[in-house]
Structure 1
Amino acid sequence: MILFFSLLILLSNSLTAPEPLPWVKQVGAQTIPTQKTVFKTEDYGAVGDGKTLETKAIQATIDACAAKGGGVVTFKSGQYVTGSLFLKMNVTLRLDKGVELLGSQSLADYPEIDTRVAGIEMRWPAALINVIDQTNVAIVGEGTVNAQGRVFWDSYWAMRKEYEKKGLRWIVDYDCKRPRTVLVSNSSNITLKGITLQQAGFWTVHILYSNHVTADGLIIRNNIGGHGPSTDGVDIDSSTYILVQNCDIDCNDDNFCLKAGRDWDGLRVNRPTEYVVIRDCISGAGGGLITFGSETSGSIRHVLARNLKAKGTGVGIRLKSAMTRGGTVEDIYLERISMDGVGVPVEVTMNWNPSYSYSTLPEGYTEATLPPHWKAMLHKVEPASKGIPHFRRINISDLTVTDAKRGIMAAGLAESLLENFALKNVSISAATAGEINYAQSWKLENVHITAKDSSPVGIKNSSGVSF
């Protein structure tokens, strides 16, 4: 017999986002390039034969466009092999239907820059397409950016195999340098619209230290030709006033992800991700429909995610951190979300993936001679209490889930309870109900969990939480 759990607690206050949230109208690019002069890449030597390395020709077109005060960089139909490109103020890069940029498979074609990767500031290859220290830039069109990342996936798996033998799982993601597809860094009023992105070598779209960015109508397909490691969809990293909408993502890690720095280095930088709207998007394969973390050091707050769909993701709504991260995830509104065939619809953990999250130097290494990013990873967070993350005021409403494996898995810490979560109009059908541990003062209205194995939701070390 299927056990049906339901709870109906009438609350005096709404669990959905106040209407309107005062900041919602401020998200996204506030300006777009208006210059209409067309700069054709073929006029600067690009041939589009799918074989010739075209980086210099395309960059020359971009530079000429910027030198004239801006305009539109275009391509005739064809395939263009290229390394790192750097866009500039008032330039629109337009990829029309029939145009495909092919990422070079040689790491030498991606010059190293100062950036942040997975929460740590370090030297790392530039992305395939870069918008760095710029304003008023757009990448638009119905064309395709195929990063051809398979070669970088293979190099990662080979290195990880060797590093795990040495007790170095925690650093392999940083040592195995793989180019992102699109990087928006320290920039404002940036628009990404309509393009298709495939086979990212690493993260697909990384929005870092930026504000007023719009990602609209992006199609991301990273599982073509295999399953690339860490091929996130859209990562919003210590950035503010961001709008993501109408996107369709199928990747092999987190589809929509909010981040804010890792451990000592993230606490040093201390920049939040805040004022973010993600709406009208769908996800296929991937680690999580929408993920907060695991890099939480600078805090993540003021997020509205609405009208999202997931089919087959490992997790739906995911909050993850570690006991060395610190930071607070708070004032989050997740509304009108449907999921089918996900592993866990709601997963919360403060001790995520210990072999990756915690850095321990094996015997045989001398710390003084290590690379700077190793030292940053090994730098202890002191006092240790600064590394304890906090999750509070997380609001989930109008969530419908079918065919999940576990209904909910939420675990805080004895020193950091999951506080003031609110669930309203939630219907979950799962193989087993799941459990909640170290939580406090949850508010539930019209919450239903149907467990095929008749298990109840386990409640441990918690107060003010009942099913």
Structure 2
Amino acid sequence: MFKSSLFFLLILIINHSSAQSVWKLPEVIQPRFRETVYPITKYGAVPDGYRLNTRSIQAAIDECSSKGGGTVVVPAGLWLTGPLVLKSDVNLNLAAGATLLFTKDKTQYPLVKANWEGYPQMRNQSPLSAENAVNIAITGKGIIDGNGDAWRAVKKDKLTASQWKKLVASGGVVDDNDMWMPSESYAKGSHLKEPGRFSPDKNAAFYESVKDFLRPNLLVLTSCDKVLLEGVTFQNSPAWCLHPLMSSNITVRNVFVKNPWYAQNGDGIDLESCRNVLIENSVFDVGDDALCMKSGRDADGRKRAMPTKDVIIRGCTVYASHGGFVVGSEMSGGIWNVYVSDCTFVGSDIGLRFKTTRGRGGIVENIFIKNVFMKDIPGDAVLFDMYYMGRDPVPMAGEKRELPKVEKFPVDETTPQFRNIEISNVYVNGAQRAVFLRGLPEMAVKNISISNAVFQSKQGIEIQESSGIRFKNVQVYSDNTNPVVDIINGRDIRFDQFGYSNNANTLLRLSGGNTRNIGFQNTTYKNVTNKVAATLGATEAAVSFK
């Protein structure tokens, strides 16, 4: 039904400093299936939205796989089911008008050993999962609905007054922080530190007591090869929506991933320790990060030592999300060789979001991004932040946040790194801030190139603890021009053909005694009152204007 495809062999020649590097993204192999068809109705499935069809649908999947594979067909209708396990050589095909609705009855989801946010943990079984499967697909024009509202907590600030009143009246628990939770079991888990993590002091009774808190991801594919997701709508996930884990040769094409904007941990797709991936022509409208690259967390991720690498993302659209294209924060195994092009972000909190923190370790490098279009970004259009604190990127109304304490630590295996990243042809109509780069005193954000870009934003560019940064043919039209560019302890930073708002107050503010070797060239200075201001140990001698 689907032919193997060599589909993409791309050679990128990228200049970083004076070195020339050649990158080859390998083929992404798609699955192939026999023509045999297995309708779930043959196994007793009934589309009334009431009867539980778990056994019937699973029987169709099992027989299809055991007899050499083919297509398990879900016809039009409302098919209520418990969790299903996809098997090798099976294409689960949802016809137009078909909705695979996963039950809100949590007793149908047994506790299983799984993985959550980069750690091995106990979780409820995912509605859809596969492990060590080869040659699998979920295709068609139907809907897969995880019934996530039965699982998720909701913050009061994210609902209208009438919505909040209705939610509270439905049952559940409200804590002192105005967070609604679906049950006492969830509330108990929420007050414990990582209750799902394995430890000798936890037994089956303990995990059962916090079962509701251990929300599953909608689709988890663990150690699978040759995977196709095409055409289907994945929506209303209890936690992350699509989670390929330690898998390879993954194609995601023409899917729609949809979660409520307020959905806690409602990520779109999280590639974790995966390789050879294509995501194209898909739409994400979710409650957390949309297109997210991960590779395990802290010591667990470094021990796994499986980077996410050789990934192609193109032609995707992101609406509500915490980040459009995102790296981290669980990136301890590394993220390498990712190519992103021709994507549109509308209303995403952050456009291009790179996040990590001390303790992660891991190297993120050789990320190539071009032709990205953004509109109405509430936060930063481009962000690199090594002080990630695990909170929503845009503060809620009235929320106060303190800046992190700046300290220098020794560099060791726990020190994360962002380096060698090229961003070009980025156009932003509306953002709070154009660019924000924040490294650590002991580990700068290094070798970032931004070229051929136009930012319309309230604030301009802020750079902290970064080196080897290049801006070429970048225009920043910001409301706040005092300053347009703010550099704190930045080194070796160049602006070539830099444009900014007319009648700007201060073009550049320098701070910190480690600021040095800042240069502007091919730039007009007649439209600014002050070219440079130096404070807190920096001097004007650190910058040159040509």
Rounded to whole Å, the distance in 2 between the matches of 1:389 and 1:308 is 27
Partner in structure 2 of residue 322 of structure 1: 357
Larger mean CA deviation between 122-131 and 140-149 belongs to 122-131
The amino acid that maps onto 1:330 is E
CA root-mean-square deviation: 2.5
Aligned pair partner of 1:292 in 317, 321, 327: 327
Q: Is 1:464 aligned to 2:492, yes or no?
A: yes
* 1:228/1:306 CA distance change after superposition, 3 Å: same
Contact 1:459 1:465 in 2 (8 A): no
Q: Report the equivalent of 1:9.
A: none
**Bigger-Rg structure (1/2):** 2
Structure 2: runs of 5 or more not aligned: 1-12, 154-171, 173-178, 198-209, 393-408, 496-546
Taking structure 2 as the reference length, the TM-score comes to 0.73
Residue aligning to 1:413:
440
Structure 1 Cα separation of the partners of residues 37 and 47 of structure 2: 18
Q: Equivalent residue for 1:23?
A: 24
The answer to which of 425-434 and 283-292 deviates more is 425-434
Match runs of 1:44-193 below 5 Å: 44-154=43-153, 157-158=180-181, 168=192, 171=194, 176-193=213-230
Segments of structure 1 that go 5 or more residues without pairing to the other structure are 1-11, 357-381
Distance 2:130 2:111 in 1: 15
Q: Please give the residue correspondences for 1:247-286 in structure 2 after superposition, counting only pairs within 5 Å.
A: 247-286=282-321
- 1:93-136 Cα offsets, whole Å, 9 max, x none, are 00010110001112222233332211001222222111211101
Mapped to 1, the partners of 2:38 and 2:415 lie a distance apart of 52
- Structure 2 distance, partners of 1:446, 1:79, is 53
Q: In the alignment, is the contact (CA less than 8 A) between 1:84 and 1:129 conserved in 2?
A: yes
**CA distance, structure 1, for counterparts of residue 92 and residue 297 of structure 2:** 33
When residues 450 and 149 of structure 1 are mapped into structure 2, their CA distance, relative to the original with a 3 A threshold, is same
Distance 2:330 2:24 in 1: 24
2: distance between equivalents of 1:258 and 1:280? 17
Q: Take 1:447 and 1:255, find their aligned partners in 2: how far apart are those partners?
A: 26
Corresponding residue SS for 2:75: coil
Q: Quote the Cα distance in structure 1 between the aligned partners of 2:322 and 2:432.
A: 14
The separation in 2 between residues aligned to 1:77 and 1:314, in whole angstroms, is: 36
Q: Aligned partners of 2:188, 2:126: CA distance in 1, in Å?
A: 26
Distance 1:443 1:260, change over 3 A: same
**Which one of 416, 422, 439 corresponds to residue 389 of structure 1?**
416
Shift in CA distance, 301/77, structure 1 to aligned 2, threshold 3 Å:
same
Match of 1:349 in 2: 385
Instruction: Report the equivalent of 2:258.
Output: 221
CA contact 1:33–1:138 (8 Å) conserved in 2: no
Percent identity of equivalent pairs: 29
- Code of the residue aligned with 2:226 in structure 1: it is N
What SS class does the counterpart of residue 52 from structure 1 fall into?
coil
SS at match of 2:492: coil
1:244 aligns with 2:279: yes
Check whether the contact 1:459–1:466 (CA below 8 A) recurs between aligned residues.
no
Summarize the Cα distance change of 1:20–1:59 in structure 2 as closer, same or farther, 3 Å threshold: farther
Quote the offset at 1:266 in angstroms: 1.4
1:429 aligns with 2:429: no
Are 2:496 and 1:447 aligned? no
Is residue 31 of structure 2 the alignment partner of residue 32 of structure 1? yes
Corresponding letter in the other structure for 1:194: G
Name 1:399's counterpart in structure 2. Answer: 426
Indicate if the aligned counterparts of 1:324 and 1:384 stay in contact, CA closer than 8 A. no
| Counterpart residue type for residue 66 of structure 2 | A
Change (3 A) 1:451 1:309: same
Pick closer, same or farther for the CA change 1:355–1:79 going to 2, 3 Å.
Answer: closer
Separation (CA, whole Å) in 2 of partners of 1:344 and 1:253: 15
How many residue pairs end up in the alignment? 423
The 5 Å alignment of 1:362-373 reads none
Q: Which residue of 2 aligns with 1:7?
A: none
Q: 2:240 aligns with which of 203, 207, 212?
A: 203
Q: Distance in 2 between matches of 1:339 and 1:299?
A: 27
Q: Counterparts of 2:139 and 2:267 in 1: how far apart (Å)?
A: 20
Shift of 1:76: 2.5
Kindly indicate whether the alpha-carbon contact (under 8 Å) linking 1:105 and 1:148 is maintained by their aligned counterparts in 2. yes
Higher helix share: 1
| Alignment partners' CA distance in 2, 1:22 and 1:447 | 26
Distance 2:270 2:368 in 1: 18
3-state SS of paired residue (2:49): strand
